[in-house]
Amino acid sequence: MSTLAHRIYISTLVSIVVIVTIFLFYKGMSYYTTPLEERFYHPDHAWFKPSGAFGHGLGIVGTALILIGVFGYIARKKFKSLARLGRLKYWLEFHIFLCTLGPIMILFHTAFKFGGIVSVSFWSMVAVVASGVIGRFIYVQIPRTIEGRELGLGELKEMKSDVDKILKHSYGLDDLDYKTLVESTSVIARPAGGNLLVRMASKYVEDKRTIRSVKKTLRKNNVASDSVRKVAKLIGNELSLNNRIERLQTMRTLFKYWHVAHLPFALIMLIIMVIHVAVTLAFGYRWIF
């Protein structure tokens, strides 16, 4: 999948989630904003209540989306025979899509009324979604091949460009400016203490400042505009790679602990969801059948 096609793919998935959410809220806004004790008298109560045709249907579809998202992604990871059906990266993105849209539908299925054992499943689902967002953030911080395999430290270092040689032989920089630009891409050891997000935000601002300084230095040396953009992109990529190398072990450790937190919530959600469905069927609730 090309970069453009991938962007269209992601944009389509995000748009579906946003459009469905807006549609569901718009369609049932009058009912969902009615106080719980007055909903029985709402003209659309039989339609939007959790056991109603619309509400019940949302629960069924939402549950199906979650199950497909969870077990489809697990199957892709476990069975090598499915590798020909697409890269793991795309399966993960589709897993995130289904496991975001599914809970949104279940939220509207509950009509924003939580109680009993179902509330445990719902809040477990919320925890799964929230931890999934965090997990996705950690996942993308760990460099991988296009097939989704995690890169080792040695492979990352091999990806580093010979920036010093490119700058020295291609742009006619004086010695001071050449030294300044090369030093801008060097790895500086930093203390590991402090809040990780704060350190990442601080480094992001620092890198942006470095790129601006690089552009200023190149323009001072009368480097052509297209070459300025090319060198700035080259140094930006180098800085990004340096940051990933510096944070690699931290992100690996966080990802390991993330699995410990994410999996139990997912299991609790699925177990109680099965119990909820079984009890519903035992009490004779049916959808449109």
- Domain residue extents for the chain: 3-151+253-282, 153-247
Own/partner contacts of 123-129, CB < 8 Å, gap of 24 or more, are 124/265, 124/266, 124/268, 124/269, 124/272, 125/66, 125/269, 127/265, 128/99, 128/103, 128/262, 128/265, 128/266, 128/269, 129/99, 129/100, 129/103
The residue assigned the tokens 């949302």 is: 58
Phi then psi dihedrals of residue 174, to 5 deg: -75, 165
CB-facing half-sphere around the CA of 185: CA atoms within 13 A:
23
Q: Give me the pLDDT at residue 61, please.
A: 92
Angle between helical axes of 225-282 and 116-141 (0-180°, round to 10): 160
Instruction: Give the per-residue pLDDT at 23.
Output: 94
**pLDDT of the chain along its 289 residues, tens only?**
677 888 898 899 999 999 999 999 999 899 998 888 888 888 999 899 888 889 889 988 998 998 898 888 888 878 877 777 777 778 888 888 998 898 899 889 888 887 666 677 777 777 877 877 777 777 777 665 545 555 555 655 555 555 566 665 555 555 666 666 666 666 554 555 556 677 777 877 887 888 888 777 777 777 777 777 777 777 777 777 777 777 777 777 777 777 777 777 788 878 888 887 888 778 777 776 5
188 DSSP assignment: -
**Cβ atoms < 10 Å from Cβ of 22:** 10
List Cα–Cα distances, 164 to 126, 176, 213, 224, in angstroms: 49, 13, 17, 19
